Copies of this chain bind each other. A is one copy, B any other.
Amino acid sequence: MVRYFIRFSYDGSKYNGYQKQPKMRTVQGELEKALKSINANKAVSVSASGRTDAGVHAYGQCAHFDLSTSITCEKLRSALNSLIPDDMYVRTVSEVSDDFHARFDVKAKEYVYKINMGVYNPIEKDYVYQYNRKLDIPEIERALKYFEGTHDFRSFVKIDEEKEDYTRTIVQTSLKRDVKNVNTITISILGTGFMRYMVRNIVGLLIEIGEGKYKSEDVIEILKMKDRTKAGMCAPACGLYLKDVFY
């Protein structure tokens, strides 16, 4: 048995999310189908760094899996890329030790979120959130900084009966305007751990701050309230990218 680690990218717009579901087109489903045929028709289970929801994209998603036979990394990479759909791509393959785990060993993840404040652009509708109105960027930048550090993120996630710990650390944030198109902004959030909808809920509040519905310093209060109903909307999936995973 050999454990392999892969870095891969996908266009989330035509997938029902990362996680395998019966009769649905999913990223995990397509990967496992391809790996089964590489692994002498024996089922292979893929463990990713985490799920992405339907419509969310990934540049640098990571996963591990075990194959019963050894195959060179470059051969495995080309075999996989020839078997998976063309809206997915395996960038790198490496061998890892048996105790490496793509989810448990994550040190940090970077998500980016893209917003178009300019004219509706049909060409990028599945790749950049078409907000199409002006936002108060300096106010959003101030708000973003309040998210940095270790916080209880109950106000930005759905409460799960089984989950006890909602504390996560956001290491670094940034907001950049596109050099060629000043109406497009990219918000980047680097953190040690994320929960479901957390980034989209943070961005949702940032947008409402940019609209003037909240002030940047309201972030402090909203974090303290630990109540999802006190924060803003959930930003659409299409603008979100899992950019990188760090181990």
Q: List residues of chain A with CB under 8 Å of any chain B CB.
A: 9-11, 57, 59, 81, 86-89, 91, 119-123, 125, 127, 178-180
Partner among B9, B91, B123 whose Cβ is within 8 Å of the Cβ of A59: B123
Whether A127 contacts B119 by the Cβ 8 Å rule is: no
Task: With CB as the reference atom, state the residue of chain B lying closest to A123.
Answer: B11
Whether B179 contacts A122 by the Cβ 8 Å rule is: no
C-alpha spacing A95/B84, complex, angstroms: 50
Partner among B87, B119, B180 whose Cβ is within 8 Å of the Cβ of A122: B87
Task: With CB as the reference atom, state the residue of chain B lying closest to A178.
Answer: B180
A131: min CB distance to chain B, Å:
14
Whether B123 contacts A9 by the Cβ 8 Å rule is: yes
Partner among B86, B91, B179, B180 whose Cβ is within 8 Å of the Cβ of A119: B91
Beyond A57-B123, A81-B120, list 7 extra A-B contacts (CB 8 Å). A11-B122, A11-B123, A59-B123, A88-B122, A89-B119, A179-B179, A179-B180
